[in-house]
Amino acid sequence: LGLHGGGHGRSPKGRRMGRRMWRRWSQQLIRQVHGRTCSVVSVDRSGLMGISEDTEKKPTPPPGSDTPLARHVASLIRFRGGPLTLAEFMHEAMTHPKHGYYTQGDVFGSKGDFITSPEVSQMMGELMGIWALCAWQQAGQPKKFRLVEIGPGRGTMMADLLRATSTFREFVNALTVHLVEVSKPMRRLQWTMLRCQTLREHFGDAAGPNADTEDVGISFVSGATVHWHADLDEVPDGPSVILAHELLDALPAHRFMKTERGWREVLVDVLDHNVEGESSCALRFVLAPGETPASRLLLPSRLKGLDPEKVAELGAIEVSAKAMAYSQKIAMRVEQQGGAALLIDYGKDGPHESSLKAIKDHKFVDALHAPGKTDLSVDVDFSAVRQAVEEQGAGSDNKTMLHGPVTQASFLYSLGIRTRLESLLQHASEEQKESLLTGFKRLVDNAEHGGMGDKYMAVAITRMNAPTPIAFEEAATVMSE
């Protein structure tokens, strides 16, 4: 369906007539597809809350809004005849195969748009290695297990982890590394960071079939075999220690606002079409005039997991169905295969009303600025993660549970970061000492002092009948009280 009233779109007057007719006639569409009824998102833009009918007071597109991804999104909106959900927009903006943010190369570190904890200091990856080693021991020291990292960035954390644990030969000999990464440019960076060789380069003629592929290699950091996968489901069965740092915040989220007409979903729409002087792909946020599939199905399920008094206080809420689903996927693997998982992200133990952030060149920008060239994220709602994990495997003898959250500072102090710092300082140059101290403060200090220590939170997933994982004992004591 066109948005300009068909044949009326050939002249300015005709276009105005077409838009008025479209606004008057359009309504929620119900189509019969192969004998099944299919609801289509309403395209009645006159009902979308927040859209001005005064053509002289149009919203101003954010600077830099004309990008290849923005043009793709605008075309998608026009093709389907209605706005995208925020979750759909985030998915396109971050993972589009050609124009998505994560598919365009290295976005981490000082030259990227943001810096993660493993990029701040080697101590982060080293202590994650201690946690993984302890988790392997608590699982009974299986002779073979999978060390999995989901979203490994540049591979910095895994490189530091493998180096720090390389002297624990029984641990190293038991593990195979599995990196879950969809971006080919990021895979190349990880290959280099882990100093990998192909099987043929390492074993020569004895390497066997598929010896030249870069989906598997031998890391010279510790001698471990490293495999790459596009999804967690591709990792072979077996006990696993799963690590994910800043994974959930990057997954798309829906946002809903409480209005006089009830909960309404926030959507992403194009600005009015063919208005002189406007970018044809400029985007804006609007509110759905009625129910959407997410407000009808996802939102009630999430609200049931919250205290009614908390729900009454909310004026808006973000819900990441993908974060909850991925948490369940991880929990299912732990339940069925054994092992443990550790997730570290920024967020809180409760819902967020409006945490959507856009970062470009280490600065916060408008969420619709330069789509595809800007990092989009939302703070993690760890109470939603707990809800998802507890719903997974109900009634199973190996049902899983969530430990935490605990602050990153508490997590690192429990693992001995101060002792590790003192050890490193003994053999460091003056320049190295300054770098180590700066990194230490960044990892454990509170946000008001420029640190990540209280903003980032850690949670662990284990079977309910497994020992409490290291660094979460105090949280377990508080929960039991």
The per-residue b/e assignment along 233-259, b for 16 or more CB within 10 angstroms, e otherwise, is eebeeebbbbbbbbbbbbbbbbbbbee
Q: What is the per-residue pLDDT for 469? A: 97
What is the reported pLDDT for 18? 37
Share of the chain above pLDDT 70, in %: 79
> In the beta sheet, which residues pair with residue 256?
265, 317
pLDDT averaged over every residue in the chain: 83
What stretch of H or E contains 479?
Answer: helix 473-480
Higher pLDDT pick, 99 / 52: 99
> Taking the alpha carbons of 254, 256, 262, 267 in that order, is the dihedral positive or negative?
negative
Question: So what's the pLDDT on residue 64?
Answer: 57
Ordered alpha helix ranges (H), 26-168: 68-80, 86-95, 117-120, 122-138, 156-164
Gap between the Cα atoms of 122 and 119, Å rounded: 7
pLDDT at residue 291, as a whole number: 94
Q: Are 358 and 365 in contact (CB under 8 A)?
A: yes
Euclidean distance between CA atoms 371 and 384, whole angstroms: 27
pLDDT confidence bin for 231, thresholds 50/70/90? very high
Is the pLDDT at 396 greater than 50? The verdict is yes
Task: Please check whether residue 146 is in contact with residue 152, taking contact to mean a CB–CB distance below 8 angstroms.
Answer: no
Partners of 407 in beta bridges = 457
Instruction: Identify the pLDDT of residue 272.
Output: 60
Per-residue pLDDT at 294: 97
Q: Which among 9-13, 113-117, 333-337 has the top mean pLDDT?
A: 333-337
How confident is the model over 90-109, as pLDDT tens digits?
999 988 888 888 776 555 54
202/379: higher pLDDT: 379
CA 142 from chain centre, in angstroms, equals: 30
Least confident range from 113-117, 236-240, 264-268, 385-389: namely 113-117
Q: How confident is the model at residue 25 (pLDDT cuts 50, 70, 90)?
A: very low
Rg of the chain on CA atoms, in Å: 25
* Tokens standing for residue 233: 């489901």
pLDDT at residue 40 in the model: 31
Residue with tokens 């989009």: 376
Closest CA to 82 of 308, 289, 351: 289
**Helix then strand then coil, % of the chain, to nearest 5:** 40, 20, 40
Distance CA 147, CA 100 (A): 28
